[in-house]
Amino acid sequence: MRGWDRALDAAGIHDPGLRGDYGRQREQVVRYKREVVLAAGLLLPERLVPHVIAAVAFMHRTDTLLDSGPVEGRAAAYEQWGEEVARGLGAGESDHPELRALLATVSAHPVLRDRVVDYLAAAGADLDFTGFQAEADYQSYVDGYSLPAFMVVTTLLGPDGDQSAYRAACRTYIEAGQRLDFVNDLAEDLAGGRLTIPEQVLKQHDVTRADLEQARDLPGVRALIAGLLDRTDRALADARALVDLVPAANRPMVRFMIRVDELTSAAARADMPALLHRSASPSKFAALRALGGEYVRSRPLRG
């Protein structure tokens, strides 16, 4: 934990109670996104690590309220959470243990305040998700939900001052990342009653929802998945422009994020029929090699 203590010191977080709040947020993220904690600790400047962890934990808390528990109670739980966050942002403090670290991060990085507000305004739309009729509906989803969610964390990695060009590049990246998530989580989403591929795209390949639900390994299904991965890969290639828009010290992390998505897309493409049963993951060796390479590049920039 000495590395974590150094990161808290570098971030100016000295109050023992607040250090405990950040530590609990870190523990939560470790339980469901250990790789995020590992990558942040290795690749980001120490002063940023606790703040990125707090932002990720806030996103997870919000997503959990939207995705978990009885459907009829989710809207009320989300509304209550939004009110709690709004009160905390207004007062600059909160008794809620899930918010104290986030509010301290907002105080240290005021640009995050508007991103939190944007995300809370957008996130409720996921409660009413019923699928997409056409590609345009998917693009609207990216603008209305995926991008505001993504910016909660990535605004901390971006440049000081005007982030308009950076936000546009983030939009290119998250369009690819969201599409990849939808393809990769196809079996899980269908099991939960969600079809995340536009109906128009299914028709273009003469594929039905039943074909996907029943995991039929048909030529049309393979062509459908390959086409979605093709679009993902093109957008990921374009998203590499994002790297040059962030401060030099944050570039190893951004490059690694994009590389992991590229490896995931390649793993999905290597066994497309398997996506009808389970998600694909890059090999641990490939992911660790990418992480190790960026760690070596990041060492002169950290601290």
Q: Would you list the domain boundaries of the chain?
A: 1-109, 129-303
Q: What Å distances lie between residue 303 and 37, 53, 58, 292, 298, CA to CA?
A: 17, 17, 25, 18, 10
**Domain 1-109 matches domain 129-303 at the CATH topology level:** yes
Tell me, which fold does domain 1-109 have in CATH?
Farnesyl Diphosphate Synthase (1.10.600)
Full DSSP string of 232-289? HHHHHHHHGGGGGGS-GGGHHHHHHHHHHHHHHHHHHHHTGGGGGTS-----HHHHHH
Tens digit of pLDDT at every position of the chain (303 positions): 678 999 999 999 999 999 999 999 999 999 988 999 999 999 999 999 999 999 999 999 998 888 776 777 788 888 899 999 999 999 999 999 889 999 999 999 999 999 999 999 998 777 778 789 999 999 999 999 999 999 999 999 999 999 999 999 999 999 999 999 999 999 999 998 899 999 999 999 999 999 999 999 999 999 999 999 999 999 999 999 999 999 999 999 999 999 999 999 999 999 999 999 999 999 999 999 999 999 998 877 665
Domain 129-303 - what CATH class?
A: mainly alpha
DSSP codes of every residue in the chain: -HHHHHHHHHTT---HHHHHHHHHHHHHHHHHHHHHHHHHHHHS-GGGHHHHHHHHHHHHHHHHHHHSS-HHHHHHHHHHHHHHHHHHHHHT--S-TTTHHHHHHHHH-THHHHHHHHHHHHHGGGGG----SSHHHHHHHIIIIIHHHHHHHHTTTS-SS--HHHHHHHHHHHHHHHHHHHHHTHHHHHHTT---S-HHHHHHTT--HHHHHTT---HHHHHHHHHHHHHHHHHHHHHGGGGGGS-GGGHHHHHHHHHHHHHHHHHHHHTGGGGGTS-----HHHHHHHHHHHHHHHGGG--
